[in-house]
Amino acid sequence: MHQISIYSFRMDGKKSKDDVFRQAVERYCRKNGFGSPEDSAWEVLKTEKGKPFFVNQPDRYLSVTDSGRTRMIALGGCPVGIDLQLPETRGGGGRTREEQCRFLAGRWFHPEESRWIAGAEEFKEDNTPYTRRIPRPDSAESFGKDGSSGVADRFFQVWTGKEAYVKYTGAGIDENFSRFSVLDPALPAVLSWFIVRAEDRQGREKDALLCVCTEEEAEIWLEPAESCKSEKGH
């Protein structure tokens, strides 16, 4: 089974994106016995649609996500897409937060996803290799323990799932974004959700939702943010 390691960084202005990427690669190489990495060996380019890839590491893959002041970098031995979101959607245009979530879902998501977010349709997990592992709004591990509604919880679950999936495929957010559903058991990917801690733009630490998308089941390691930040001189 492939392993995916995910490294978390606080982007406080003291470290550049290149700095934290280099630090993540160094930690990944040490963990997997690759020795000290040379920058040229881990050079990254992007496809026309923005999917990053290693030029000289055909068997290694990466994905990056930002939310607030938190940046997460996934590195592993299989294609991966990740998306992190803080629960920052607010009401707008005279709409409440729930109404805003429904409005955005109706505009950008698949109809099946919109119905599920609104609570009009039950989601049924199946026993295929591509089972969706979605944290339930009424479960003990529910996202949004700060009092957010079930509608908002489900909205963020779908949002992170869709973004992780299009990062995994490399398609990006295009005209097909509303044509697939992360609730569809036939979707050829495995989506896994985790509740993690992240900092918003004001530096306040909050619960956030992280989705990891892979082709098959993978071991996912969330590396402690503290140990990432404790290393100096890189």
Are 50 and 147 within one domain?
no
Kind and range of the H or E run holding 206: strand 205-214
Q: Answer yes or no: is pLDDT of 135 > 80.
A: no
Three-state secondary-structure class, residue 18: helix
Are 90 and 202 within one domain?
yes
**pLDDT-derived band of residue 143, with 50, 70 and 90 as boundaries?**
very low
**Domain assignment of residue 91, yes or no:** yes
Number of structural domains found in the chain: 2
Q: Answer yes or no: is pLDDT of 47 > 50.
A: yes
**Domain assignment of residue 213, yes or no:** no
Cα→Cα distances 125→120, 130, 178, Å: 16, 10, 21
Are 226 and 166 within one domain?
no
User: Which tens digit of pLDDT belongs to each residue from 156-214?
Assistant: 999 999 999 999 999 999 999 999 999 998 899 999 999 999 999 999 999 999 999 99
Are 175 and 67 within one domain?
no
Are 44 and 135 within one domain?
no
H and E: helices and strands count for the chain:
5, 9
- Assigned token pair, 12: 């406080």
Domain housing 9: 3-83+222-230
Q: Answer yes or no: is pLDDT of 127 > 50.
A: no
- Assigned token pair, 113: 């996803």
Q: What is the pTM of this model?
A: 0.85
Are 72 and 112 within one domain?
no
Are 177 and 141 within one domain?
yes
**pLDDT-derived band of residue 141, with 50, 70 and 90 as boundaries?**
very low
Are 55 and 97 within one domain?
no
**Domain assignment of residue 164, yes or no:** yes
For position 153, what pLDDT does the model report? 87
Q: Which range (35-39, 73-77, 171-175) has the least confidence? A: 35-39
Q: Answer yes or no: is pLDDT of 55 > 80.
A: yes
Mean pLDDT confidence for 57-74: 96
**Domain assignment of residue 138, yes or no:** yes
Are 78 and 98 within one domain?
no
Work out the angle at residue 79's Cα, subtended by the Cα atoms of residues 73 and 82, and round it to the nearest 5 degrees.
Answer: 40
- Per DSSP (E only), the strands in 36-79 are 44-46, 52-54, 61-67, 70-76
CB 84 within 8 A of CB 164: no
CB 223 within 8 A of CB 6: yes
Are 90 and 151 within one domain?
yes
